[in-house]
């Protein structure tokens, strides 16, 4: 289809950010980019509770019911509580949910299981570019060129 919209691999995003203004900005920018914000939480504990509620429902769109599930987690690394975004990424990817970090201090080791890092500070254009690049990784488009301000690890998703 010439003017049709292509199928998105990421539709529903869980935002994990402990700074309220950044969390609000992320919600607004993610929504403006055409994604659905599943929830915005400030700790790994809360994020895992959302995962428990939503996992198993991905792709589970039934006739007459809204789509459920989480396609991507956008998470800071330093969060409220004792656990970090790196801990969350390990648990999320074990469930088949990819993670994009948004942080001012990218981990030297590649952040464990994350697909990449969106470096703070960023604007709406940079966030959209990062989400597009992550969608290409998820779609299996091979090595994806990282947009400005984004580090991509170009690794396959855990099965």
Give 35-86 pLDDT, tens digit per residue. 999 999 999 999 999 999 987 544 444 433 346 799 999 999 999 999 999 9
Report residue 18: phi and psi, to 5°. -95, -5
Residue 17, domain member (yes or no) = yes
With respect to residue 4, please indicate whether it lies within any of the assigned structural domains. no
Domain of 52: which CATH number? 3.40.50.2300
Classify 136 as helix, strand or coil: helix
**Structural domain contains residue 24:** yes
d(CA 96, CA 94): 5
Domain limits at 133?
Answer: 12-57+67-152
Domain count, the chain: 1
Query: 75 lies in a domain?
Result: yes
Quick one: pLDDT band at residue 143, thresholds 50, 70, 90?
confident
First to last CA, the chain: 31
Closest CA to 130 of 87, 74, 79: 74
């Amino acid at each position: 289809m010439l003017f049709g919209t292509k199928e998105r691999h990421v539709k529903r995003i869980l935002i994990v950010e402990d700074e309220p203004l950044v969390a609000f900005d992320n919600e607004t920018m993610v929504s403006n980019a055409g994604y659905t914000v599943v929830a915005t939480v400030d700790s790994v504990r809360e994020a895992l509770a959302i995962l428990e509620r939503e996992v198993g429902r991905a792709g589970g769109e039934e006739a007459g019911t809204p789509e459920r599930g989480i396609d991507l987690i956008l998470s800071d690394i330093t969060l409220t509580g004792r656990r970090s975004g790196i801990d969350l990424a390990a648990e999320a990817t074990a469930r088949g949910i990819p993670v994009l970090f948004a942080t001012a201090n990218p981990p030297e080791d590649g952040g464990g299981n994350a697909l990449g890092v969106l470096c703070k500070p960023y604007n709406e254009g940079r966030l959209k570019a990062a989400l597009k690049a992550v969608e290409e990784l998820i779609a299996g488009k091979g090595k994806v060129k990282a947009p400005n301000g984004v580090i991509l690890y170009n690794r396959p998703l855990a099965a």
